[in-house]
Amino acid sequence: MELLWPSEADERLRSEVHAVVHAVVAAGGAIGYHSPPGRERVDAWLDDVLKQVRAGDAALVVALVDGSVAALALWRRGSAAVHRRQAEVQQVMAHPARRGLGLGQHVMAALVSHARTAGLELLTLFTRGNNHGAIELYESLGFRECGRIPNAIAVGAERWDEVWMHLPLGFPDDVALRGSSPEGHGYSPRRAQP
């Protein structure tokens, strides 16, 4: 297995990424599509991701097995000024024919390490509540559940919980961690209860 961090996509990478996305969705994978997307849609998605990679606002890791794309994952930095130190993990997937090789663990561990190197302080992600294998993988890397929206993910006539998870990556020594303390910018007092 080899890990790549592409910032550009040639025809081969495009074709192989599409093959993985298509196969994962066709097998019922929970990566945001209702049905297997066509090549144009995946190419547009990949172009958007790689544009953000080149701007330093994303990272895409691709795992090669026997020279072909077998798994991938990415993080995207928050766009609002107050969220620039955090990123959301997205599109974690391994080709169904390559499952059982630990590819999810490899791409996620590499992604977490890359995020730390990039100076991010926090990673977030969400997954379907029924995706127990993914939740266990994320927990093995230190992610913890921080919220759950019941039946928020809709696929046809079925609904699943949306599970939010987070992983603190560390904060600079000069950062004051205020949490929910009643002070600072944006503070407002609690309203009196009747």
Average confidence (pLDDT) per 10 residues, the chain, 194 residues: 96 97 91 90 97 96 97 92 88 93 96 96 95 95 97 90 96 86 79 79
Buried b / exposed e across 128-153, counting CB within 10 Å, b at 16+? Answer: bbebeebbebbeebebeeeeeeeeeb
Strand, coil or helix: 158: strand
Contact between residue 30 and residue 154 where contact means Cβ atoms under 8 Å apart: no
Residues in the chain: 194
What is the fold of 2-168? Answer: Aminopeptidase (3.40.630)
pLDDT at 79: 81
Specify the pTM.
Answer: 0.90
pLDDT at 84: 84
**What number of helices (H) and strands (E) belong to the chain?**
4, 7
Contact between residue 121 and residue 85 where contact means Cβ atoms under 8 Å apart: yes
Radius of gyration, alpha carbons of the chain: 18
Q: Which of 150, 124, 136, 154 shows the shortest CA–CA distance to 30?
A: 154
- Continuous segment of H or E residues that includes residue 70: strand 68-77
Strand, coil or helix: 107: helix
* Residues forming a β-bridge with 93: 72
* Residues forming a β-bridge with 160: 153
The whole-angstrom separation of Cα 23 and Cα 17 is 10
Strand, coil or helix: 59: strand
pLDDT at 36: 93
Phi and psi at residue 106, in whole multiples of 5°? -65, -50
Cα dist. 75→20, 66, 92, 101, 157 in Å? Answer: 18, 25, 9, 22, 30
Sequence letter at residue 27: A
* Chain Cα centroid distance, residue 131: 14
pLDDT at 134: 93
